[in-house]
Amino acid sequence: MSIRIKIPTPLRKFTANKDVVEVEGSNVGEALRALDAAHPGMWAKICDDNGKVRRFINVYAGDDDIRFLEGMATPVDAKTEISIIPAIAGGC
């Protein structure tokens, strides 16, 4: 099933400047692995060594951060757009 993944500007150097990449997969983890296969380096930018989304990156499936869904196992279909969005955060 073809899934659209929106790529943020800072990571487009890995995707030949494409802002949207279409991959196959039935959940977020599969889609991101497929993204990494097509554009090597993306997985490591998004996830740490334990496969957890990095603190300063957000992965959205539709309208929700996958941290509040089922993480990498969050199911996706052709109607679900995955968005990778750099976190905007900080603290005193």
Partner 1 sequence: MTTRDPIALLERYGRQLLVEGVEPARQVALGDWCLAVATDGSDVARLAADVALRYAVGAGIGRYCLADAALADSNPEDLDPAVERIGGADPSAAGLARPPVAHLYFARRRYGASVDLLLTEHDDGWEQGAGHDAVVSTVVLELGDPQDGAQAGPEDAPGLGTLAARLLVCHLLGLEPLPAVLHLRWPDDDADPEVHVRAPSESGAEVADLADGAAPPGLLAELQRTPAALDAILAHASADYPNEACGFVVRDADGSLRAVPTRNLQDRYHAIDPETYPRTSRTAFKLDERVIVREEEAGHPLQIIFHTHCEAGAYFSAEDARAAAPGGEPIFPDAGHLVLSVMGGVVRALALFRFDAVSGRFVPELGGGPLPR
Query: What is the rounded CA–CA span in Å between residue 78 and residue 43?
Result: 21
The tokens for 68 are 């509040």
CB of 24 to partner 1, least distance (A): 24
Selection from 39, 37, 29 nearest residue 59 by Cα = 29
Which of residues 22 and 65 has its CB atom nearest to partner 1 in the complex? Answer: 65
Which of residues 10 and 51 has its CB atom nearest to partner 1 in the complex? Answer: 10
CB of 46 to partner 1, least distance (A): 12
CB of 23 to partner 1, least distance (A): 20
Q: Report helix, strand or coil for 45.
A: helix
Query: What is the rounded CA–CA span in Å between residue 13 and residue 69?
Result: 28
Which of residues 23 and 84 has its CB atom nearest to partner 1 in the complex? Answer: 84
Binding site for partner 1 (CB under 8 A): 10, 52, 54-56, 58, 60, 63, 67-68, 83, 85-92
| Residue 21 · residue 38 · CB < 8 Å | yes
Which of residues 79 and 91 has its CB atom nearest to partner 1 in the complex? Answer: 91
